[in-house]
Structure 1
Amino acid sequence: MLCRCRRVAPADLGRAARGWGWAGAGAARRRVSTGWSPVGAAFDARQQRSSVVGRSTGLFGVPELSCPEGFQEAQEKALQETERLVRKAYTTPPGPEIVMIFDQLSDALCRVADLADFVKIAHPDYTFREAAEEACRNIGTMVEKLNTDVELCQSLKQLLADKKVMDSLDPDTRRVAELFMFDFEISGIHLDEEKRKKAVNLNVRILDLCNEFLMGTHLPNKIDKCSLPEHIRCNFIVDGNYVQISGLHADCPDDLVREAAYKIFLYPNADQLNCLEELLCSRNHLAQLVGYNTFAHRALQGTMAKTPENVMYFLEKLSDRLSQRTQKDFEMMAEMKMKINPQNTKLMPWDHPYYSGVLRAERYNIEPSLYCPFFSLGACMEGLNSLFSQLLGISLYAEQTEKGEVWCEDVRKLAVVHEKEGLLGYIYCDFFQRADKPHQDCHFTVRGGRLRENGEYQLPVVVLMLSLPHSTRSIPTLLTPGMMENLFHEMGHAMHSMLGRTRYQHVTGTRCSTDFAEVPSILMEYFANDYRVVNQFARHYKTGQPLPKSMVSRLCESKKVCAAADMQLQVFYAVLDQIYHGKHPLKISTTDILKETQEKFYGLPYVSNTAWQLRFSHLVGYSAKYYSYLMSRAVASMVWKQCFAQDPFDRAMGERYRREMLVHGGGKEPMLMVQGMLQKAPSVEDFVDALVSDLDQDFETFFMDSE
């Protein structure tokens, strides 16, 4: 698409500064500012945060966005700029300028769409969210119209057909030109006028259905309180005569509470079921309209996997290799359940997350409260800063925000500075819990990097969103090991955005294939579990005592407990996603497909009158691509073992990592980037071997004797 909006980890597009007043966009701001302060102190609860300084501005320094109505003004400016650029593209002869115009066109649309995509989800003010939602819808409609504009496409076709001109283009420009043409093709540019209009309408309808489905995935279910035993009602929200269930309560030690939550929260909602089935039908119809067998075939163009057949081969191979290990894991969980509750010994889906956690805790004593004092947020941020400095020559500095620049006073702004190249971009850290804030950790690109017409580089701007607890007067924000790992994961996305240095914003940072986009973030999880890295920052917030190596070792070893069953669950989700977006008889309901797939690819029984798929929010953002987590983990595992396991601070390897994998964004074939880093092209069997070997890996081999 001309504007590729996608949220990661679970939306990543570029932003132009021209006509916007972006804070810090000018070249003069690239020098190190005396107003910057150490990153750890910015997140240290014991430091009182100063009030914002300077002039009043709008969100992210965009003057128009000082109020919700500003989205309308921003949208109108973007559409006016779009019209000007489209007219220019119509009359420009074949040459590199055409590609530049297309990228400017994409940037003009994205400068609204990306920012609005974040605001509609994260802003605490409903009026801002509503205005952003409307902007997303209107820009999305315009994008779909442009993607089926025959005259606009013709200007690009003329360039691609001129072999002499194409041969004169540099590789980046040639690839971006081909990507733009690919986006036209999957939108049905080759269809007659009536069918093109149909494709546009389908795309717009799909956007609306995606929003509707996402909202439905989070809605609670209610049941008459008399239907639940009185002694478990206290675990849920009681609303008059009803009990409200808003989650699975997976960590609750009471089997009956987990069972009730599972059956009630996952009870099928007719409207949500219809929404999902219409969404899948619309996607299938669109794919076939533009010439693909299935939506999965359309979605997987340009990925590492390339085809749904390759994805299923990978998932089936992995499932076969996991089979015996998964069965042993389920047997261990069943034995633990029998030990704790002899009256109810059959292992059920609501038992998996709980009893796997019990087994880990019993074997390795990994109670989170033992670890939290060593992982204050400030210490973790300093740890990331130290790692990036040694590995990539990058430092993080806290920068004061202006009035109106952030959507919540808890948001911190970080400047990312390279030791030789200067300021690389900004990270807004929306880390703390608040009412109505989504609980899913996410990375958003608010502005992508690109080389401007005047020769300056447009600095990327991203947001990292977590849901960490607030500090108190005496205790800083303390992270569990899982929270710490998630922080490292999201910072991996941020560094991908910061270090990508593409000429065109269309392929900036994480705007690459989904199955490659997760590699840098998952790779950071390996660093987060290496004692040599952890030892540099994990200190008890009161005593300053370092986290003992034995505790890190226990934590890493504990992750292998029931890891096969956990991975098998991911395989099940990924296969279900493929089947939903592949060929299947429309008379079969999504719930019947769920039941059949669960029996074949998971191993725990389907529970009647439940519809887990209606809570599967990734069917929106990762449609036909949920396998990406597994494939990206396989690549990250290979990169870690081959390149960083021996020395996680190897600067030469860090530079190679940036050069081969981070700098290109989506401007290079993903498998070529992997091949450049590993010095070989991995096969499906290599991916499977990497994942399975992680289950058996002795983590002690990763650790140097640092005690």
Structure 2
Amino acid sequence: MFACKLLLNVARHTRIRQIYRNVTTWSPVGTAFNARQQRRFDLFEKNVGLFGVPELSSPEGFEVAQEKALKETEQLVEEACSSPPGAQTVAAFDQLSDSLCKVADLADFVKVAHPDPAFRDAAEKACLKIGTTVEKLNTNVELCKSLKDLLDNKDILATLDPETRKVAELFMFDFEISGIHLDEKKRKKAVNLHVKLLDLNHEFLMGSHLPNKIEKRALPEHIRNQFSFDGNYIQIGGLHAESPDDLIREAAYKIFLYPNTKLLHCLEELLAFRNQLAQLVGYESFAHRALKGTIAKTPETVMKFLQLLTDKLSDRTAKDFEMMRDMKMRLNPRSSELMPWDHPYLSGVLRAERYNIEPSLYSPYFSLGACMEGLNALFSQLLGVSLQAEQPQPGEVWSEDVRKLAVVHETEGLLGYIYCDFFHRPDKPHQDCHFTIRGGRLLGNGEYQLPVVVLMLNLPQPSKNTPTLLSPGMMENLFHEMGHAMHSMLGRTRYQHVTGTRCATDFAEVPSILMEFFASDYRVVSQFARHYQTGQPLPENMVARLSESKKVCGAADIQLQVFYAALDQIYHGKPQNRSTTAILKETQERFYGLPYVPHTAWQLRFSHLVGYGAKYYSYLLSRAVASIIWRQCFLRNPLDREMGERYRREMLAHGGGKEPILMVQGMLQKRPTIEDFVDALVTELNPDFETFVMDSES
């Protein structure tokens, strides 16, 4: 119920805005990112603590912060249980959730990203402590009763606004999935299943990333040096999918995916316990439970979407695989059978050959500072929002190269803060992601609690003479993650429990994927893409080629994602008396098209099964929604302010406080069907003939 998820939001009233403008000094956002951070050191300046939280000026402060939150929690529980049912009940629940999340969300970030082990350890302990409290709250019968009394009183319920009613229902749903409505014996069983699943999730996640070993002599001598050594063994920790050598790709695939008996048992237990828990709390399957409140709503709808997409793509997918076979025959006539380890490499070769999209040709035009100025210009024109670089105070950031951005609306003032942890450093997680540190919510005094987020990338540091230069993929990832951040900043929810990205998984990715469309449009890119040395603009035909290159083998790429999504659904559907490997083999044959390789177990590397159980399809559905919105609302003019305002009002403002399909409907002014979603993904693959005209003229 009070599990702290992603979130964020908004602005303050005029007086606060004016005061803020009087005391804050900003610098141009591009300048702040194209040079190394320069800090002024003042021995007399006070350490304000991480993110300006005074207690966190040292690792020991986590214990102080958590104890403060737990003490506040006790008071709020008492308040929620004793007050008469009404809107104040929901407000008390949200304040209780907010109090815990302010510590848990911050600690969740610090435990993986802070360079100081002492801070990481302290944050880990805080997470465990808050997690234990959350588990107790989720099984607090008296607390649940106060909410149930509200939801059972139709007269009072009728007086609540839709968002308050929705949030009350979401809190109750979280209680129910913890089994609180069950008798004592079943409730204990539900708690035990939750505990077992926490352990199994951790075990599977760790195991899915461990390398496999094989004796040196088992591999041909000429490819051994492509892998790392561990004594007399070769250690393989990935698929080496981009290697031009067929044999290296094949060896890595067969060895890395060789089944681990212990991990197989772990996965089968994990799936069985998830199903038991779902059925115990009243759902037909884990997938039925996981999809409640999403755009798709049911596993049946998801499978219909995946099957229809497969049918519509079948001819194109077959042609893509045929192109790959022809290319493999050209590269290696002795081994022309197309195998799963060939797909990523050969599709890349075909893209490069057809469109000449060597990243080094593009990166001089994509300095980090230029890209940030591009985002700034886009948000300013589309949403009336600017990004302002601000100097962090001592102790506020965890690394000297972290940049702080204030997000400011032209009439509403300060909306929130984005901390940009963009540069590579040792021990930093190699992933691009968005973390919530504090969620937006309406406070009792009428002000708005400003949201705070972190965006984490892994970019090279600028040098003395050269700014950080981004490949096209890095630039697109930057736009993607900034889409999450702006979703967090631009919300208008009353409750932090549903603010910003704290919404259905198949809706949460829509704003970020939509940003990828903006990043591929020349009218947007031309505003910022300049050669960092000459100032020359990026030629339009290069942007067009880059965009068209993504369509090469696009059907096969989508079909691979369909296979993963279908496997995830089947694993989390009704139990089957077959091994996970047998299910994998059958699903691969039905939804992919390339043969299953005997003695492999790809599912053991499918780490998304932990965080995205029964919801992996969300990537495809979110892309379909984003595609429809782009074509209908922004393709004609990507800088249309009126459409940008509608986008904020209808989609970004509500977080998870409104049914996701209703937000999409509000934006499109019609309710899309599953067929519409499928058609959007298929239409994306159609070639743009203007590109070929430009190429022939250049």
State if a TM-score over 0.5 links the two structures: yes
Could you tell me which of 440, 448, 459 is aligned with 1:457?
448
One-letter code aligned to 1:247: G
Rate the CA distance shift 1:52–1:151 in 2: closer, same or farther, 3 A.
farther
332-341 or 247-256, larger mean C-alpha shift: 247-256
Flag the 1:109–1:406 CA change in 2: closer, same or farther, 3 A. Answer: same
Q: Is the 8 A contact 1:145 1:200 kept in 2?
A: no
Q: For residues 176 and 703 of structure 1, do their structure 2 counterparts lie closer, same or farther at Cα, with a shift above 3 Å needed?
A: farther
Matched, 1:605 2:595: yes
Match of 1:165 in 2: 156
Report if aligned partners of 2:627, 2:680 keep a CA contact under 8 Å in 1: yes
- What is the DSSP-based 3-state SS (H/G/I as helix, E as strand, rest coil) of the residue aligned with 1:463? strand
Matched, 1:339 2:347: no
Task: Tell whether the 8 Å contact from 1:377 to 1:479 is kept in structure 2 after alignment.
Answer: yes
- Residues 594 and 66 (structure 1), Cα distance of their counterparts in 2 relative to 1, 3 Å cut: farther
The one-letter amino acid paired with 2:683 is S
Q: 2:369, 2:431 → 1: CA distance?
A: 21
Contact 2:441 2:499 in 1 (8 A): yes
Aligned to 2:38: 49
Give the one of 296, 312, 321 matched to 1:305: 296
* 1:235-291 Cα distance to aligned partner (Å, 9 max, x none): 222233232222222111111111222222222233333332222222111101101
CA distance in 1, matches of 2:200, 2:18: 44
Answer yes or no: is 1:296 the counterpart of 2:287.
Answer: yes
User: 1:247 and 1:58 mapped to 2: Cα distance?
Assistant: 39
Q: 1:664 maps to what in 2?
A: 654
Check the 8 A contact 1:530/1:703 in 2, yes or no: no
**Contact 1:417-1:425 within 8 A present in 2 as well:** yes
Which residue in 2 is equivalent to 1:690? 680
Distance 2:293 2:656 in 1: 10
How far apart are 1:700 and its partner, in Å?
4.5
| Distance in 1 between residues matched to 2:38 and 2:236, nearest whole Å | 37
Inter-partner Cα distance in structure 2 for 1:52 and 1:419: 33
- 2:30 — aligned with what? 40
Q: How many pairs were matched up?
A: 689
CA contact (8 A) 1:94 1:158 kept: yes
Q: Residue 13 of structure 2 corresponds to which residue in structure 1?
A: none
Cα 1:654–1:176 change in 2 (3 A) is same
Q: Is the 8 A contact 2:408 2:414 kept in 1?
A: yes
Moved more, 370-379 or 120-129: 120-129
Task: Report if the CA contact (8 A) 1:37-1:399 is conserved.
Answer: yes
Determine if contact 2:94/2:496 at 8 Å carries over to the other structure: yes
Tell which deviates more after alignment, 149-158 or 265-274.
Answer: 265-274
Whether the 8 Å CA contact 1:560–1:695 is kept in 2: the answer is yes
1:178 aligns with 2:169: yes
Q: Deviations over 1:652-706 (max 9, x none)?
A: 00000000000011111100000000011111011101111111152849999xx
CA positional deviation for 1:30: 4.1
Please give the root-mean-square deviation of Cα atoms over the aligned residues, in Å. 2.2
Which of 489, 492, 500 lines up with 1:501 in the alignment? 492
| 8 Å CA contact 2:8, 2:452 repeated in 1 | no
Match of 1:22 in 2: none
1:636 to 609, 626, 640: 626
Q: Helix, strand or coil for the counterpart of 2:684?
A: helix
Report the residue type matching 1:644 in the other structure: F
Which deviates more, 608-617 or 515-524?
608-617
Within 5 Å, which residues of 2 pair with 1:137-536? 137-536=128-527
How far apart, CA to CA, are the structure 2 residues paired with 1:699 and 1:65?
57
| Residues 64-73 or 549-558, more deviating | 64-73
Write out per-residue CA displacement over residues 597-652 of structure 1, whole angstroms, 9 at most, x where no aligned residue: 11111111112222222222211221111101111111101100010000000000
Q: Is the 8 A contact 1:515 1:625 kept in 2?
A: yes
Tell me if the contact between 2:9 and 2:492 (Cα under 8 Å) persists in the aligned partners.
no
Q: 1:47-73 deviations in whole A, cap 9, x for unaligned?
A: 552246642133222233333333333
- Secondary structure of the corresponding residue to residue 502 of structure 1: coil
Equivalent position to 1:623, from 613, 625, 641: 613
Partner of 1:566: 557
Retained in 1: the 8 A contact 2:55–2:64? yes
Superposed CA offset, 1:332-378 (max 9, x none) = 00110110111111111111010000000001111111111111111
> Which stretch of structure 1 is more off in the superposition, 321-330 or 208-217?
208-217
CA–CA distance in structure 1, aligned partners of residues 19 and 457 of structure 2: 28
Which range moves more in the overlay, 609-618 or 97-106? 609-618
Q: Which residue in 2 is equivalent to 1:19?
A: none
Percent identity for Structure 1 against Structure 2: 74
- Give the C-alpha shift of residue 32 in structure 1: 6.5
Q: For 1:289 and 1:263, how far apart are their aligned partners in 2? A: 39
State the partner residue of 2:84. Answer: 93
Q: Tell whether the 8 Å contact from 1:531 to 1:703 is kept in structure 2 after alignment.
A: no
SS at match of 2:685: helix
CA contact (8 A) 1:575 1:597 kept: yes
Residues 31-40 or 635-644, more deviating: 31-40
Note the C-alpha offset of 1:38. 1.0
**Deviation of 1:111 (Å):** 1.3
Letter of the 2:608 partner, please give it: H
Q: Partner of 2:426: helix, strand, or coil?
A: coil
Matched, 1:3 2:3: yes
Q: Does the 8 A contact of 2:628 with 2:680 survive in 1?
A: yes
Which digits, 9 at most, give the CA deviation of each residue in 1:441-470, with x for residues without a partner? 111111110011122111111111111122
Deviation readout 1:276-331 (Å, 9 max, x if unpaired): 22222221111011011111000100001000111111111111111111111011
Amino acid at match of 1:673: M
CA contact (8 A) 2:7 2:440 kept: no
Q: Offset at 1:97?
A: 0.8
Letter in 1 for 2:152: A
Residue 70 (structure 2) pairs with residue 79 (structure 1): yes
Q: Which amino acid aligns with 2:652?
A: L
Partners in 2 of 1:188 and 1:13 — Cα distance?
29
Q: Distance in 2 between matches of 1:407 and 1:237?
A: 32
**Partner amino acid, structure 2, of 1:615:** R
Deviation at 1:221, TM superposition (A): 2.4
Alignment partner, residue 126 of structure 1: 117
Counterpart of 1:648 in structure 2 is 638
Q: What is the Cα deviation at residue 29 of structure 1?
A: 6.9
Distance in 2, matches of 1:78 and 1:344, equals 63
- Asked if the contact 1:220–1:265 (Cα under 8 Å) also holds between the matched residues in 2, the reply is yes
8 Å CA contact 1:572–1:602 kept in 2: the answer is yes
Q: TM-score, normalised by structure 1?
A: 0.94
- Residue type matched to 1:429 in 2? C
For normalisation by structure 2, the TM-score amounts to 0.95
Structure 2 Cα separation of the partners of residues 323 and 165 of structure 1: 53
Q: Is 2:7–2:497's contact at 8 Å kept on the other side of the alignment? A: no
Equivalent-residue separation in structure 1 for 2:387 and 2:381 (angstroms): 12
CA distance in structure 2 between the partners assigned to 1:412 and 1:311 by the alignment? 40
Asked if the contact 1:443/1:463 (under 8 Å) is kept, the reply is yes
C-alpha change, 1:138 and 1:244, in structure 2 (3 Å) is same
1:18 matched to which residue of 2?
A: none
8 A contact 1:52–1:400 mirrored in 2: no
Write the distance in 2 (CA, Å) between the matches of 1:699 and 1:71: 58
